[in-house]
Structure 1
Amino acid sequence: MEIKQLAIDKLANTMRIYIETKIDFERLKHIDQEEAINNLDRAFEAKLEAFHSLYDVTKTDFSYFDSADSATLIMLRNAVHHRDHLLFKSWNYEMLLNNGLEKNHGAEFLLASHNVIDDILKMKYYYKLDDFYARVDSNLESPYLEKRMSKVNREKLVFQLNNELNFDMVSDYAKSNRYPTSQIYINIIPIFISAVSKVFKALKANGIEFKGFDSKVYEEPFINELEVNMEIFSYMPIRIYKS
């Protein structure tokens, strides 16, 4: 019980640190853009690591791979943890630290986000849509395919991406508006919220008490307030101009 409580608190800690880092990002980006972006990227990756730690000790409490959101987070964590590829670079990194503004001058990108009910902060953290498929879709013959997963599990995750997270809806919308697939980005925060909400609810139902200040702070919103509608997306077009 205590091990699980510590893992919950670790995840809650990283969620608080991410928000603090995001708030500081707005100040720091005007002083040291590279540091601001790297700090935010590492803070998000820390949330993925903490989610994976919780998964390690609560596998019997929740079926992580039967839910598209949690399965996707575990795949993402493994991808950024092992880093044996060039996928999953954040929008900020790609555009501001990887010469994205210069490379894509005049191009228009589509940023998509699932609808989150009662999300006051409206947090955003984007990865390229193509990267998810390049990691798990065997049909693409990507050099960055996740080899640690079996073909069956990869096919299951592709199905979940399209039919539960509804990534195919984003692809269809983008195609109808003539966006190249390489110019579509997905906000990961709603997926993270959805996964954590499901896990917290399952742990609470199993009688696990949330201890620690951060755990208590995040218990109420993730169990009783936040809700993600995976069938509704908001779209934000962004045209790139060199600074």
Structure 2
Amino acid sequence: MTMKITERAIDKLANGMRIYAEAHANFETLRRVDLEEAIDDLDRSFEAELEAFHSLYDVDKAAFDYFEHADTALILLLRNAIHHKDHELFSSWNATMAQDGGPLRFAGAAFLLVSHSVVGDAHVANQLYKAEDFLLRLDPSLGSPALEAKMKPRNRDKLLQQLKSDLGFDQIFAKAGAEHYPSKQVYLNVIPIFVSAICRVFKSLRERGASFNGFDARIYASHFTDALRVDLSALRYKTIRIE
């Protein structure tokens, strides 16, 4: 693939990142008028980011091993799961809370929300999915009908271990178990992982001589190669109890 093709994929991804940021900024205002539209705008724009990331992977995978790193691999796993959608996994927190009469059906339940730490003062959005859903895609011992069947078993095993060790899934579920949170009530914010993946890929692309030519690409190039850093070893926890 020529670098020009890769640079067009960079532009598409950067454009999708801006659109998601706008949807996130508009969410609180729009939800007061039309909650369903606000949730759909946010979720669909995030899914478009995932698709754009996968498009970049398609043209760049010969030069960069996206499955060697836990952050980039998880984002591709999430994209594939949402893209193919032959299961009931990966309903976002907002969509889940809004379904079937709203959050009051969870009255009295406590949820553990988990996020990796973005170093510095950068504002980080929340795009939350059940942490368990990632394991149900990868761990055959769970007997999930949603197991990622298209992935070779050795690749599933490798990614499962990456999630447990490099992204702290073992630590997350150890804390959840010790504090008596059911696994279905543990949600992971995937935005810091997405940020980490973008930082990793953009730095590699810059080192390989890629140009960030579009307006959005130029803005995000310096932001994700110089300003941002995610500490994937540091987890932050928050409890939400539905009253």
Q: TM-score, normalised on structure 1?
A: 0.97
Identify the range of structure 1 (90-99 vs 200-209) with the bigger mean alpha-carbon deviation: 90-99
**What CA deviation, in whole Å up to 9, does each residue of 1:59-93 have, x standing for no partner?**
12311000011111111111111110000010000
Give, in angstroms, the shift of residue 123 of structure 1: 1.1
Work out the CA distance in 2 between the residues paired with 1:126 and 1:99.
20
Q: Secondary structure at the match of 1:200?
A: helix
Work out the CA distance in 1 between the residues paired with 2:203 and 2:109.
42
Work out the CA distance in 2 between the residues paired with 1:54 and 1:199.
9
Q: Secondary structure at the match of 2:82?
A: helix
Q: TM-score, normalised on structure 2?
A: 0.97
Unaligned runs of 5+ in 1: none
**What CA deviation, in whole Å up to 9, does each residue of 1:143-196 have, x standing for no partner?**
111111111111111101001111111111111211111110000000000011
Q: Secondary structure at the match of 1:121?
A: coil
Q: Does the 8 Å contact 1:119/1:226 carry over to 2?
A: no
Q: Which residue of 1 aligns with 2:237?
A: 235
Work out the CA distance in 1 between the residues paired with 2:55 and 2:68.
18
Q: How does 1:213-232 map onto structure 2 within 5 Å?
A: 213-232=215-234
Q: Does the 8 Å contact 1:200/1:222 carry over to 2?
A: yes
Q: Which residue of 1 aligns with 2:123?
A: 121
Aligned length: 241
Q: How does 1:156-171 map onto structure 2 within 5 Å?
A: 156-171=158-173
Work out the CA distance in 2 between the residues paired with 1:44 and 1:29.
17
Work out the CA distance in 1 between the residues paired with 2:63 and 2:239.
40
Work out the CA distance in 2 between the residues paired with 1:194 and 1:87.
23
Unaligned runs of 5+ in 2: none
Calculate the aligned-residue CA RMSD, in Å. Answer: 1.0
Q: Which residue of 2 aligns with 1:152?
A: 154
Q: Which residue of 2 aligns with 1:95?
A: 97
Q: Does the 8 Å contact 2:124/2:192 carry over to 1?
A: no
The one-letter code sitting in structure 2 at the alignment partner of 1:223 is: T
Q: Does the 8 Å contact 1:61/1:203 carry over to 2?
A: no
Give, in angstroms, the shift of residue 26 of structure 1: 1.1
Identify the range of structure 1 (213-222 vs 119-128) with the bigger mean alpha-carbon deviation: 119-128
Work out the CA distance in 1 between the residues paired with 2:125 and 2:35.
19
The one-letter code sitting in structure 1 at the alignment partner of 2:25 is: I
Q: Does the 8 Å contact 1:61/1:202 carry over to 2?
A: no
The one-letter code sitting in structure 2 at the alignment partner of 1:141 is: G
Q: Which residue of 1 aligns with 2:32?
A: 30
Give, in angstroms, the shift of residue 50 of structure 1: 0.3
